[in-house]
């Protein structure tokens, strides 16, 4: 690896504020958990159940961010600034539509959905209360996703960081007042979240409407590029999370210790992915902008550098994690059986990091190039391979090692498929069209 590259400064200029915005979400969840946790075990269990459903919706619909970034960055790079402004307005319409559908559907199925997920007794009641109130902020949260996508697309990554940080600080203050001053309990926590998200959505709506556009009316023709990219990213994301859901389901049939150890490794995987995803976001912006400007060679060079940096970061994570197989899991549990299972999967978890680093970067590159159809099908193929390995692990008694070996195969298969696409340069299509 060359110590210096002309692309490094720009990569880190985009990656660092993106990392800050990404890190704000888990810190918010941590603060929310701490506030509700002091109310009692049923309240905390309710937050875990309802919060997981809501977080899943935000994650699944992150195509509002990535799809918007891809098309706006290309338009911006091509000098089509008025078109980028029209796309901002269309992103707002799409986000409002998705948010309202989710709100109505969520309120309609909240009770049976939470019961089906195990909500019962006091914790089930609290979960329903939290969900119904917090869901009121979902449309604004969808607008925030689209707003972040647009601002990233026009290379403005500091502004999203400012809005997200302020919104999270407001949320904490409101929750403290509602929960401990007004004694509203979990309803106060949910109300604080909904109000903070509404303010955040309003701030991003202003950013989406700020640039001058000849028309801001809903237009399917204008929406179509981001909807096409967004649909394919949606399938890709759902497939990836579906793979981890299959892993959890298989391990649940093996035993509580296996499932608990998997949960520890999975949460650490999500946390470490924040850093790698920041590089991927830089890839979306830089590649989309360069291709829009007609610079395929520059886009390839910057992309190659991002793959190197992301792989190196993953290798550093692996080197740090590998000798700590009997240390880090103890921060999460003291159960002996769970610790044994965690130690068994640990080398596979550590090995996943450099592979995942390269895959994250390639994801960002292909999203920036709007080559999401290939991204979708390669993810589906890798997920099908993992599902077969997971089923064999259960049938043949391979245990947690078999399941996590399958997850490594999933990441490895994605790396192989995406590497073939990257080296072919078929993704490097220049210009706005």
Task: Output the DSSP codes for 82-118.
Answer: HHHHHHHHHHHHHHHHHHHHHHHHHHHHHHHHHHHTT
Cβ-contact 150, 284 below 8 angstroms: no
Rounded to two decimals, what is the model's pTM?
Answer: 0.84
Mean pLDDT value of segment 177-182: 94
CA distance 90 to 143: 11
Is the pLDDT assigned to residue 2 strictly greater than 70? no
Token pair in block for residue 60: 């699944």
Cβ-contact 57, 196 below 8 angstroms: no
Is the pLDDT assigned to residue 62 strictly greater than 90? no
Is the pLDDT assigned to residue 94 strictly greater than 90? yes
Query: b vs e for 218-246, b when ≥16 Cβ sit within 10 Å of the residue's Cβ?
Result: eeeebbebbbebbebbbbbbbbbeebbeb
Q: What is the pLDDT of residue 276?
A: 86
Cβ-contact 354, 318 below 8 angstroms: yes
Is the pLDDT assigned to residue 433 strictly greater than 70? no
Residue 181 DSSP one-character state: I
Lowest mean pLDDT among 66-75, 271-280, 367-376: 271-280
Cβ-contact 250, 406 below 8 angstroms: no
How many C-beta atoms surround the C-beta of residue 58 within 10 A? Answer: 17
Band of residue 135 on the pLDDT scale cut at 50, 70, 90: very high
CA distance 376 to 234: 8
Mean pLDDT value of segment 117-146: 90
Residue of 270, 272, 266 whose CA lies nearest to 248: 266
CA distance 44 to 64: 30
Rounded to 5 degrees, what angle do the CA atoms 282, 287, 291 make?
155
Contacts 24+ apart (CB under 8 A), 409-414: 409/385, 410/243, 410/382, 410/383, 410/385, 410/386, 411/352, 411/355, 411/356, 411/359, 411/382, 412/355, 413/381, 413/382, 413/385, 414/359, 414/362, 414/378, 414/379, 414/382
How high does pLDDT run on average in the chain? 89
Is the pLDDT assigned to residue 340 strictly greater than 90? yes
Q: What is the pLDDT of residue 422?
A: 96
Residue of 301, 417, 428, 430 whose CA lies nearest to 366: 428
Is the pLDDT assigned to residue 3 strictly greater than 70? no
Q: What is the pLDDT of residue 14?
A: 87
Token pair in block for residue 259: 């499932």
| Sole residue written with tokens 């245990």 | 399
Band of residue 384 on the pLDDT scale cut at 50, 70, 90: very high
CA distance 253 to 243: 16
Residue 177 DSSP one-character state: I
> Going by C-beta distance under 8 Å and a sequence separation of 6 or more, which residues neighbour residue 321?
328, 346, 349, 350, 353
Lowest mean pLDDT among 154-168, 282-296, 324-338: 324-338
Q: What is the pLDDT of residue 23?
A: 74
Mean pLDDT value of segment 254-281: 85
Please give the residue that has the higher pLDDT: either 241 or 106: 106
Is the pLDDT assigned to residue 295 strictly greater than 90? yes
Q: What is the CA radius of gyration of the chain?
A: 22
Domain ranges of the chain: 14-218, 231-433
Q: What is the pLDDT of residue 163?
A: 95
Residue 185 DSSP one-character state: T
User: Which tens digits make up the pLDDT trace of 16-46?
Assistant: 888 888 877 777 776 777 788 778 878 877 8
Cβ-contact 14, 282 below 8 angstroms: yes
Q: What is the pLDDT of residue 1?
A: 52
Q: What is the pLDDT of residue 55?
A: 78
User: Which tens digits make up the pLDDT trace of 208-220?
Assistant: 999 988 888 888 8
| Sole residue written with tokens 């399958």 | 406
């Amino acid at each position: 690896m060359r110590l210096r590259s002309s692309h490094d400064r720009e990569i880190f200029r985009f990656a660092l504020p993106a990392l800050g915005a990404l890190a704000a979400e888990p810190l918010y969840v941590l603060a929310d958990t701490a506030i509700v946790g002091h109310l009692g075990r049923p309240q905390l269990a309710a937050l875990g159940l309802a919060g997981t459903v809501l977080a899943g919706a935000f994650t699944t619909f992150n195509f509002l961010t990535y799809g918007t970034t891809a098309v706006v960055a290309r338009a911006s790079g091509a000098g089509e600034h008025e078109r980028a402004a029209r796309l901002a307005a269309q992103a707002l319409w799409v986000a409002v539509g998705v948010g309202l559908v989710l709100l109505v559907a969520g309120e309609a199925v909240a009770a049976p959905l939470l019961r089906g997920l195990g909500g019962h007794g006091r914790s089930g009641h609290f979960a329903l209360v939290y969900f119904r109130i917090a869901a009121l902020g979902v449309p604004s949260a969808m607008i925030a996703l689209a707003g972040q996508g647009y601002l990233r697309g026009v290379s403005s990554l500091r502004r999203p960081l400012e809005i997200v940080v302020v919104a999270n600080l407001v949320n904490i203050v409101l929750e403290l007042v509602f929960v401990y001053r007004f004694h509203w309990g979990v309803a106060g926590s949910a109300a604080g979240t909904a109000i903070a998200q509404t303010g955040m959505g309003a701030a991003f709506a202003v950013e989406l409407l700020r640039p001058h556009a000849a028309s801001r009316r809903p237009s399917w023709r204008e929406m179509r590029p981001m909807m096409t990219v967004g649909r394919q990213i949606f399938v890709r994301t759902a497939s990836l999370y579906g793979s981890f859901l299959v892993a959890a389901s298989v391990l649940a049939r093996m035993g509580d210790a296996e499932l608990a150890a998997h949960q520890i490794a999975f949460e650490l995987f999500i946390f470490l992915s924040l850093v790698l995803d920041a590089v991927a976001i830089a890839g979306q912006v830089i590649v989309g902008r360069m291709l829009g400007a007609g610079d395929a060679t520059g886009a390839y060079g910057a992309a190659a550098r991002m793959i190197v940096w992301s792989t190196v970061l993953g290798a550093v994570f692996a080197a740090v994690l590998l000798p700590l197989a009997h240390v880090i899991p103890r921060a999460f549990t003291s159960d002996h059986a769970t610790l044994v299972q965690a130690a068994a999967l640990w080398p596979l978890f550590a090995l996943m990091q450099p592979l995942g680093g390269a895959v994250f970067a390639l994801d960002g590159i292909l999203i920036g190039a709007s080559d999401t159809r290939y991204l979708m099908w390669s993810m589906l193929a890798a997920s099908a391979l993992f599902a077969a390995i997971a089923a064999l692990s259960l049938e043949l008694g391979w245990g947690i090692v078999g399941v996590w070996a399958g997850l490594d195969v999933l990441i490895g298969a994605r790396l192989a498929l995406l590497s073939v696409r990257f080296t072919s340069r078929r993704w490097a299509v220049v210009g706005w069209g």
